[in-house]
Amino acid sequence: MKARCGVPFASFRAEVVCWRTGAVWPAGLDDSNGVRGLHLDRQLQLVAMDTSEKTDVVLLACGSFNPITNMHLRLFELGKDYMNATGKYRVIKGIISPVGDAYRKKGLIPAHHRVIMAELATKNSHWVEVDTWESLQKEWVETVKVLRHHQEKLATGSCDHPQSSPSLDRPGRKRKWAEQKQDSSPKKPQESKPTGVPRVKLLCGADLLESFSVPNLWKIEDITQIVANYGLICITRAGSDAQKFIYESDVLWRYQSNIHLVDEWITNDISSTKIRRALRRGQSIRYLVPDLVQEYIEKHDLYSSESEDRNAGVILAPLQRNIAEAKHNSSTA
């Protein structure tokens, strides 16, 4: 059989081009399955392109978690929903990183208790996990260094190897965390991230964003690296004006495209401070924290007037370090 131009139909060939490699395969239209095969290949190609254009993201939350609350867990769900809904990102993991004891915050109970409570809170989560690296450091670690640590960990592929964590069958016992051999030395920031490596972004509440303006609490270069190289996913709360705060900060304004503000329409005013206050007064905290966390707190009698006085009168580690560095720099200038 011939077409009107005199060329046999059998000589017409369609080609399927791989969007990734540029390779070309013939898709014959001279057989009964040719057209259907071509359409199927095209559909698969579009699906692959849609998947490849999304950036894999890991949400990292740093903080005291003293104790962890249901609101902390909600931050992850809100952040994940928002990022996935943009169509540009795909959240693949959430990480809770409790701060170490060297942070010296008033009322901060020992890290091993806070880590175990976080483990209990995420026990049934299929995507949020607890990382102990920050809590194991002898000295306080800046948030930008924690971000860098996890980004480098993802780049080397070590995130596929689960780390040891506090034993939940004997929660009152301090484990030997020194067995976790990981390099805690400061490292230079990566100038570029390898293609295909998930991107770590800092998940936080509006209070952390606003804390950037507290004198000597943050270094301006650290804030710049956080928003420029990693990015923020900030869950706003009632009474806060995160957008105005960004407008009033030159650094945040410059990198506002890397700051994602997420509205929490279902108001939730749970905080660790209020949980500790309720416990000191003998009031119930049920439904404010996960049940396993409540049981652990009660079993070990973790929060009391005495525990709230822990580190009382001690200068917060970042304030102490940044003030000392500022004095040193001014004296040598």
Give the per-residue pLDDT at 19.
43
Give the per-residue pLDDT at 50.
55
> What digits encode the pLDDT tens for the residues 62-109?
999 999 999 999 999 999 999 999 999 999 999 999 999 999 999 999
Partners of 8 in beta bridges: 2
Distance between CA atoms of residues 271 and 257, nearest Å? 29
- Rama region for 84: left / alpha / beta (φ>0; ψ in -120 to 50; rest): alpha
Question: Along the chain (333 residues), what's the average pLDDT of each consecutive run of 10 residues?
Answer: 45 44 46 50 52 88 98 97 97 98 97 98 97 98 98 80 44 42 43 69 94 95 98 87 93 97 88 96 97 98 96 95 88 74
How does strand 13-17 pair with strand 24-28?
antiparallel
- Please state the pTM of the whole predicted model: 0.76
> Residue 112: CB partners within 8 Å, gap ≥ 6?
135, 166, 174, 175, 177
Q: Collapse the DSSP code of 329 into the 3-class scheme (helix H, G, I; strand E, B; otherwise coil) and give the result.
A: helix
Nearest to 60 by CA among 199, 261, 252: 199
In the structure, how many helices (H) and strands (E) does the chain have?
A: 13, 8
Percentage of residues of the chain with pLDDT beyond 90: 65
Dihedral sign, Cα of residue 132, residue 133, residue 138, residue 144: negative
Give the per-residue pLDDT at 159.
46
